[in-house]
Structure 1
Amino acid sequence: MLPGYGQTLLQNPEQFLGYKPGTRFTRHSDLVRYLEYLSRQAPSRLKLQTYGTTYEGRPLYLAAISAEERINRLEEIRQNNLKRIGLQNGQPTANQPAIIWLSYNVHGNEAVSSEAVLQVLYDLLNPANERTQGWLKNTVVLIDPCVNPDGRERYVQWYNGVANAVPNANPWAREHQEPWPGGRFNHYLFDLNRDLAWQTQQESQQRIALYNQWMPQLHADFHEMSGEATYYFSPAAKPFHEDITPWQREFQQIIGENNRKYFDQNNWLYFTRETYDLFYPSYGDTWPTFNGAIAMTYEQGGSGRAGLAFARADGDTLTLGERIAHHYTASLATIETVAQRKDKVLQEFDKYYQRNRTNPPGPYKTYVLKTRNQEAKIKALTTYLDRQQIKYGFVSGSSAQRAFNYTTGKHESVKIETNDLAISLYQPKATLIKVLFEPFAKLEDSLTYDVTAWAIPYAFGLQAYALPGKINQTQAQPIALNQTITKPAIPQPYAYLARWNSLSDIQLLSALLRHNIKIRYSEKAFQTDDETYAPGTLIITRAGNEALGASFDNIIKSEAEKAGIQITPTPTGFVSTGVDFGSGSVRYLRKPKVAVMAGQGISPPAFGEVWHFFEQQIKYPVTVLDAEYFNRVPLSNFDVLVLPGGSYADILTDKTLSQVRDWVNAGGKLISLESATGFLAGKHGFALTRKKDTDSAEVRKNPYALLKTYGESERQTISDAVQGSVYRVSLDNTHPLAFGYGDTYFALVQDVINFSFMKDGWNVGVLKKDIYTSGFVGVRARKKLQDTLVLGHQTMGRGQVVYMADNPLFRAFWHNSKLLFGNAVFMVGN
């Protein structure tokens, strides 16, 4: 085992906390107290910084630890590192250490890692520990002791409140049955380990902003898995993304060898090269990898179910103390591995960024995205690129180029125009750009456990091209991106017009509704002042808003500026072509009272995505209803009810579903997402039905199809799977559910969608034949994913049912589909 600590003036965790680590779970506030204590006691070897707060207001910390002579020049070391790789101007000085970043407790109920970090911190700061002090001569170790304090505290508070005085190892004891929603997720029930590339959550945004200021050579992420599992360390499983370098792969093996040495000495069980792959770019191991680091996941058996003691099926009892020992040992073994190879680690890191700047990977060297009438989307994209430290410019002249067209999926001649956004790969973050923008991510092995397609142009819903060469561009920001009013000022205009094609437009609508401004929208296209406006365009007339007086104009301009979108004043309600503003086709948009289902049976992330959309993305009031008491809720208090994905058999019983149906008939609007849509299919009164199962017919034709090989069971199962793949959905964009889109949109499909077209309803979005775009789809799944409904609308009495077979709010990063959900809430049925 790695060496322990000697006697020092520093209190070890047991002395400070008053209990032996492993005998209880430590509250986040006590973890913070110990951090602050160490910072006061060892200021010459530890610099502690608060880099942000969680949604619930808990502080986020980073501890920088090194030898005294390095802590004194910590800022110089940080800037040197950025200068070496081209992210900061200037010449670096010599004698640079390797920078290691260790992240703990990204999943709140994988609580052992923040227990282990207490001892890691102590041993690194203990001057009597000669071995750790030797490592610190070659390294700066950055430690994030708890990435997800809100989730951790949710778990710890629950566990400490229900645990027996003597831990009960029986898996059926209450202390092993964590209640909904569990502590895995953050406040909004997002998985922070899936958010590094997208940075939709407050914690991720703050953490990555700091990461980009350091750019470590190694990042390790500490997790837990099933209580029946052992311990996992690198090398990772296939698939490896093709842009992971030979050195990064080699160091995965080196890290594994050093961990193996200590685990073998202690006769601890472990496994490698299984399950945990390096493909999807938003993990704590992959995103740092595409930023040049050597990165890995560590997984300890246990997780939220294990508690203090857990009886395994093999008869052994897994204790929290044992789990701590494993993560502690892996932490120190990782630091040791880098410290012993500091020069090589720095050399390869420098080469990675030199290659990015001079010979970037992949067949495409420039990505171009169209800006005309997409200003709000482009502004959202540039905000995202800034967070990633990705440089961009704007095209300085028009030209015809041969390029890959994301919309058609073909290489063809395309027109590049002045002010189009251009991203050159000749820059430090080239590999990350290539990975995020690649139309097709090459999958070396189909056995991967997450999303397999994610191209940014599809995610943001932007027309884009990938070019094999460079293109002339300027760094000047087009005026259009900063412009709120698109026409010269008109004193007290008759109305303001706002196009409807992005999340920013929903944000503006929400803000104006909060101000109780009356808003209309056009169901049909119209033209005024030589500009064409598509269906869904918001029309904010002075008529009906007279009571606001002069503040009417000020509110609209202010909120448009906050939302970052253009609005157009017009002096008249008379249009050149189409419908005038007093037409029956210009609908008054009501301010709906919205409720969303939560609680046991509902997928926590699915609910969290809806909750986050309303509260954080568009800041619109939403009432959360718990499944436990839903059958007692007077639904007449609400206009819209959202059913996130989940299992509804015990929630919407026949009696309760009848109550929901009566509410819809009386004028309510029901919006079902993913598996909630599947639950409604075939139910009395609902027009949606499933397609007949074709598998049984195939078996009748060929009974040998049932003969399967046990050893190939995992691969045979994925024939029925969809793993986050991009599909082109055909839209009826004359329907309010598809306002703001063209005749197609690119959806990120998570599961097999297998519904018949509705006879009594509107089939607004459908998958036709040959519409697969990218990502992994199993052979049998691909057969089902055609001629099927994705988006539907049914009139039921005086109310509406909106069927969304997939999840338009998935992880909050697929911006292209958020407008669909906004249409469902605000447009359909008005």
Structure 2
Amino acid sequence: MESKVTTTKNKKRTGLVALGLLLSLTTTVATAATDENTSGPAMWPTAEYAAGIPTAKEVLGYDLGERITSHGDTLKYFYALQQAAPKNIKVIEFGKTWEGRKLIYAVIGSAENLSRLEAFAADMNKLADPRKTSASEAKQLIAKLPSSVWLEHGVHGNEISSTDASMMTAYHLLAATNQPMVSNILQNTLVFIDPMQNPDGRMRFINQYYATVGMEHSADRLSAEHNEPWPRGRSNHYLFDMNRDWLAITQPETKARVRVLNKYKPTVVIDLHEMGGDSTYFFVPAAQPINPHMQKEQLDNNVAIGRNNAKYFDEFGFSYYTREVFDAFYPGYGDSWPTFYGASAATYEVASSRGERFEKLDGSMLNYRDTVQRHFVASMATAETTAVNREKILNDFYLYQQKAIAAGKDDDDERVFILPNELDRAATHRLATLMAEHGVEVKRASESFKACGTKYNEGAYIIDTAQPRGLFVKTTFTEQVDMDKAFVTEQERRRANKLNDQIYDVTGWSLPLMFNVDTDSCGRAVSVNGEMISADTPLQSELANGDAKVAYVVPWGDMSAGRFLTAALQAGIKVKSADLPFKMASGSYPAGTLIIEVANNPKDVADLVASIATTTGAKVVGVDTSWVEEGPSFGSENTVTISAPKIAMAWDEPTRSLSAGATRFVIERQFNYPVTAIRAGTMAWANLSDYQVIILPSGNYARHLGKGGAENLQDWVKKGGVLITIADATQWAASEAAGLLDVKREYALSKDGVKAAGDGDVVDGTSIKDKAGFLNAIENEQDMPDYVAGILTRVEVDQEHWLTAGVNPEVVAMVTGNDIYSPIKLASGKNVAWFKGKDDVMASGYIWDEFKTQAAYKPFLIHQPVGRGMVIGFTQEPAARAYLDGLNVMLMNTIFRAAGHAYPLR
């Protein structure tokens, strides 16, 4: 039970906290159970607080946990704390969101530790590299360095309580006067508080939530307060789940956060989340599977953290659980990414009130303040563990680096990864600079060299895994990271017994596969001259004959050419594209190659081409003759004019926000081309003739478009429009009601065994001989294939279709869900890309044998001509999480080359 002690305070506010304990003699103390920062019982019942540190009530006008704090108020409070205790807290702005909101973090510690913040960063980076820092030097550093904990809050904007908990944590650390744990934390640990990882999503949630509140807050889960409208507050401006962005680092919030973590390398990182309101609280240890490249010492530290959390949760009477649901396998979460620089990291989840009040299924009331308090208590317990185990955690951090380097040296097969940088310059450069952004050492060779018997040209990128980030390289570059065998066996047992599997997220994430980049490996160190690249190293353009008399040709097949195209179109340059490969005196060029004819363009076309080449890194060749030795000439019917299409995308309900956001982001921020978002319902009746391309992201459009909407789109396509459907949108387009695409989804393959038969209320009699027969008897007659959590698959690409110009013969796609489609018949269209055969379809991850059998040779990309236009269907997401860079050229073709092949009515 929480005690009921009256709180008092002095009107005269003087004195600052030194180490969170020492107060000036003129400062009185605020005591316990109805503390300055909360309504009702205290968040830490025994705490006494210094009057010199402002409460949230004094700064914001309300107690923490009383209402959901906005982005502006959060910043206001942290800056007020800094003004009151500048020697113990420092607030640092480190970036901005897409919508221009500030990102801040606060650092709290003793005056001595905080004054050495920059020196601390330098020392941590020394400790992070045993190649430069000997064991004896490391011992000296560990003796003087504080440990550090980074508390991440609110990566999902509608998981609201952690931000308010961050303010309570900061207040408690600065103002609590009778807490030995606070003194210990301040003396031995730097506490980094990132109060709001996703300000744009949080403010979307807050604005929508308070707009629904009436006379009183409703606790009913059916109320509008507890049912967010599309796209909800979980994601950021571009509707990204930023907890999945740590691998591709596409969003500005993630980019800024990665820079800061790489600077300080905090030794403990906690990502505070919310889950369903009927649950309790989750903390470490994590569930299986665990990424095999994580180290025992890190996992042991998590157990110690969990034990201390449990101690305080027992004291406070809070329920909790561990080792269930939330695993530590995928390396691209906010709690898993830091483990690969050596931190001990974890996810915490609290039952969410998703507002100020929520009635649980058992009839109990969950108040917002309750969720804030639980995160606050867990944060303090974690910080205490970090302080108590300061020396061990720092030693383990140094040991991690040693193990990473040793693992690289001991690998006789994949010590070094080499990116030849010849087939896809842009994707290879993007992958190399991405790894540098992660903190990996990447060298670009300045000369040709040999490695393991193979010769490589100047410009190849080299990553030696015998480096501190070597284990991160191994987990992101190897094609397959296996889950624990016992876990896999258990999943197969569950499936055999008709139970859902326990795989939480994707099981395949090899970056070279997703980027479709050639990568070689060598078991020996490579000695070659070169330079270390950074995240900002530009892709160098290649411009030959910049004063061409006849034309400029841009070889198609990578995103430097893609961005050249979009920039040229927006600059008003007239561009053609070849459907087939061709050969000239200047070289051979692949299908899709862009052709900019001097005579058909402005007089300053040479300057425009040179400028665009520089900004995009494209390879451009000027030619003084149009004579083609092989393949189509510039004036052939096998070249098409690419105009600047107007693109519309379905938005709002019923689109899946992650699909809509990722697709729009890839087009706008990776292709650099604008998209107009149109509410899906509007497409049912609107005149769409202004648009040449319409994209339907994944979603169930049956109700929002209906028969009228399908007819409106079909009429628009017949008149020359290009309709692109993605994942579930393809499912709708293929339905009888829509009739836009002549393919059908498949039920799961039937299995041998006894099944009930017959019609009506009576079925034929059956005999069941064993449990296997029983399990077969209870199967539905027509089931969909089992759900796939997320795997990487190999896709074969038709090399003789104009839609795949410049696309490699084989690409890698991600498969999620259970949609498998029968191939389209030749009378209706073409299967332009399809999954490879059973024995070859898997590229990375873990999947059921039945999927391999049924998915083999089924379509991934479908093209169906309709009148003067066409429908193009992706059966899976080509832009998932914006990290399938290897599919970008294919996606560009479906937009720009498809628009060039349509014949809209003029």
Q: TM > 0.5 between the two?
A: yes
**Are 1:614 and 2:671 matched, yes or no?**
no
Q: Which moved more, 1:737-746 or 1:510-519?
A: 737-746
Structure 2 distance, partners of 1:87, 1:51, is 29
* Alignment deviations for residues 690-733 of structure 1 (CA, whole Å, 9 cap, x no partner): 25535446455798667459xx99xxx99813232121111112
TM-score (norm 2): 0.86
1:641 Cα deviation (Å)?
0.6
Q: Aligned residue for 1:25?
A: 68
**Are 1:484 and 2:547 matched, yes or no?**
no
Q: Counterpart of 1:637 in 2: which secondary structure?
A: coil
* Alignment deviations for residues 22-56 of structure 1 (CA, whole Å, 9 cap, x no partner): 22111111111001111111111111110000000
**Are 1:50 and 2:93 matched, yes or no?**
yes
1:120 Cα deviation (Å)?
0.5
Note the 1:310-325 alignment, pairs <5 A. Answer: 310-325=358-373
Change (3 A) 1:600 1:482: closer
* Alignment deviations for residues 411-443 of structure 1 (CA, whole Å, 9 cap, x no partner): xxx664554322111112111111110110111
Q: Aligned residue for 1:810?
A: 880
1:795 Cα deviation (Å)?
0.3
**Are 1:519 and 2:575 matched, yes or no?**
yes
Note the 1:148-167 alignment, pairs <5 A. Answer: 148-167=198-217
Given that residues 184 and 388 in structure 2 are in contact (C-alpha distance below 8 angstroms), is that contact kept between their aligned partners in structure 1? no
Given that residues 721 and 781 in structure 1 are in contact (C-alpha distance below 8 angstroms), is that contact kept between their aligned partners in structure 2? no
Structure 2 distance, partners of 1:691, 1:56, is 40
Change (3 A) 1:255 1:689: same
1:448 Cα deviation (Å)?
2.4
Structure 2 distance, partners of 1:729, 1:560, is 31
Structure 2 distance, partners of 1:141, 1:705, is 56
Please provide the CA RMSD for this pair: 2.4
Q: Counterpart of 1:107 in 2: which secondary structure?
A: coil
1:492 Cα deviation (Å)?
3.9
**Are 1:113 and 2:198 matched, yes or no?**
no
Structure 2 distance, partners of 1:382, 1:400, is 18
Q: Aligned residue for 2:419?
A: 369
> Which residue identity lines up with residue 633 of structure 1 in the other structure?
A
Q: Aligned residue for 1:678?
A: 731
**Are 1:68 and 2:95 matched, yes or no?**
no
Given that residues 797 and 834 in structure 2 are in contact (C-alpha distance below 8 angstroms), is that contact kept between their aligned partners in structure 1? yes
Q: Counterpart of 1:357 in 2: which secondary structure?
A: helix
* Alignment deviations for residues 170-192 of structure 1 (CA, whole Å, 9 cap, x no partner): 11122111111100000000011
Change (3 A) 1:221 1:649: same
1:486 Cα deviation (Å)?
4.1
Structure 1 distance, partners of 2:842, 2:784, is 17
Q: Aligned residue for 1:629?
A: 682
Q: Counterpart of 1:588 in 2: which secondary structure?
A: strand
> Which residue identity lines up with residue 527 of structure 2 in the other structure?
N
Given that residues 284 and 305 in structure 2 are in contact (C-alpha distance below 8 angstroms), is that contact kept between their aligned partners in structure 1? yes
Structure 2 distance, partners of 1:694, 1:666, is 37
Note the 1:619-698 alignment, pairs <5 A. Answer: 619-683=672-736, 685-690=739-744, 692-696=746-750, 698=752
Q: Aligned residue for 1:764?
A: 832
Note the 1:324-723 alignment, pairs <5 A. Answer: 324-360=372-408, 363-394=413-444, 396-399=447-450, 401=452, 416-444=456-484, 445-446=487-488, 447-476=502-531, 483-487=540-544, 489-529=545-585, 531-545=587-601, 548-550=602-604, 552-683=605-736, 685-690=739-744, 692-696=746-750, 698=752, 707-708=774-775, 720-723=786-789
Given that residues 109 and 190 in structure 2 are in contact (C-alpha distance below 8 angstroms), is that contact kept between their aligned partners in structure 1? yes
Q: Which moved more, 1:695-704 or 1:372-381?
A: 695-704
Q: Which moved more, 1:169-178 or 1:805-814?
A: 169-178
Q: Counterpart of 1:635 in 2: which secondary structure?
A: coil
Given that residues 505 and 565 in structure 1 are in contact (C-alpha distance below 8 angstroms), is that contact kept between their aligned partners in structure 2? yes
Q: Aligned residue for 2:171?
A: 122
Q: Aligned residue for 2:9?
A: none
> Which residue identity lines up with residue 401 of structure 1 in the other structure?
C
Change (3 A) 1:688 1:465: farther
* Alignment deviations for residues 623-644 of structure 1 (CA, whole Å, 9 cap, x no partner): 1011243323211121111000
Change (3 A) 1:492 1:87: farther
Given that residues 720 and 779 in structure 1 are in contact (C-alpha distance below 8 angstroms), is that contact kept between their aligned partners in structure 2? no
> Percent identical across equivalent pairs?
31
Structure 1 distance, partners of 2:220, 2:504, is 30
1:2 Cα deviation (Å)?
7.2
Q: Aligned pairs, how many?
A: 808
Q: Counterpart of 2:542 in 1: which secondary structure?
A: coil
Q: Aligned residue for 1:801?
A: 871
* Alignment deviations for residues 448-488 of structure 1 (CA, whole Å, 9 cap, x no partner): 2111111121121111122222223322489x98542342x
* Alignment deviations for residues 377-429 of structure 1 (CA, whole Å, 9 cap, x no partner): 22212221221121122455454738xxxxxxxxxxx6645543221111121
Q: Aligned residue for 1:307?
A: 355
Structure 2 distance, partners of 1:549, 1:527, is 27
Note the 1:737-748 alignment, pairs <5 A. Answer: 737-748=803-814
* Structure 1 ranges of 4+ moved more than 6 A: 87-93, 701-704
Structure 2 distance, partners of 1:576, 1:397, is 32
Change (3 A) 1:700 1:639: farther
* Alignment deviations for residues 509-560 of structure 1 (CA, whole Å, 9 cap, x no partner): 1111111111001111111235211100111111221xx212x111211112
1:685 Cα deviation (Å)?
4.3
Q: Aligned residue for 2:38?
A: none
Change (3 A) 1:294 1:719: farther
> Which residue identity lines up with residue 847 of structure 2 in the other structure?
V
Change (3 A) 1:34 1:159: same
> Which residue identity lines up with residue 305 of structure 2 in the other structure?
I
Given that residues 574 and 642 in structure 2 are in contact (C-alpha distance below 8 angstroms), is that contact kept between their aligned partners in structure 1? yes
Change (3 A) 1:798 1:333: same
Unaligned 5+ segments in structure 1 are 403-413
Given candidates 289, 293, 301, the residue that maps to 2:339 is: 289
TM-score (norm 1): 0.93
Structure 2 distance, partners of 1:542, 1:530, is 17
